Amino acid sequence: MPGPGRAPETDGAPAARPSRLRPVAGQPAARPSVPRLRLRLPLRRGDAPLYGRRRTGRPTRLTAIGTGVVAVLATLAVAGVDRLLFGGLGWLFGLGYLVVCFQLAVRVRYADLLAAPISGPIAFAVAMLALAPVKSPGVTAQVVALATGLALRAGWLFSGTGLAALIVLARFIAQRRIHRSR
């Protein structure tokens, strides 16, 4: 009885299916009787195919918006871990911020290079605003706590931002030299 995944039977014998195995040397290859349909999608120049080829090993590039989102999420995650482990924002937060800035500068697209040094400090300030301890309630206390936190952690802030700016500048110069040599 035909069912899902079964070929219909003819004269009590199952229908012969073409073999997917390679033929033995000296024997002719069995050709399938039904032509195979291939789906060919139109690809623009530079697009990676959806199937069939391996990736080239180039890292995935972030857009400007993606850089901002990744910066905020990663910095918040590092700040949350630091606050859970040590009760405040300390050296783990600073080191995590440096790693985040490095990754942003390395993974941002060439067209969006300026997003890396800009989104890092914004993410730093958002993490400070969200997770830095505030002693008294109110908007003024939040602003004072943010200003104090940024002043106390200015070394980490400037180090991460400077690292991202240097990497972005090096990538920009290297890309310009490549374009000039062509």
**pLDDT value at residue 49:** 53
**pLDDT value at residue 181:** 85
pLDDT under 50: residue ranges of the chain = none
Judge whether 1 lies within some domain: no
**pLDDT value at residue 19:** 58
**pLDDT value at residue 67:** 93
DSSP assignment of 40-76 equals -----TTPPPSSSS---SPPPPB-HHHHHHHHHHHHH
Which position has the token pair 């014998």?
13
Tell me how many domains the chain contains: 1
Judge whether 57 lies within some domain: no
pTM for the complete prediction?
A: 0.65
Cβ burial, residue 123 (10 Å; 0-12/13-18/19+): buried
**pLDDT value at residue 124:** 94
Judge whether 55 lies within some domain: no
**pLDDT value at residue 27:** 62
Judge whether 169 lies within some domain: yes
Judge whether 106 lies within some domain: yes
Which position has the token pair 């999420």?
73
Judge whether 54 lies within some domain: no
**pLDDT value at residue 145:** 87
Judge whether 7 lies within some domain: no
**pLDDT value at residue 142:** 86
Judge whether 146 lies within some domain: yes
Residue ranges making up the domain that contains 156:
64-181
Reported as type and span, the H/E element at residue 8 is: none
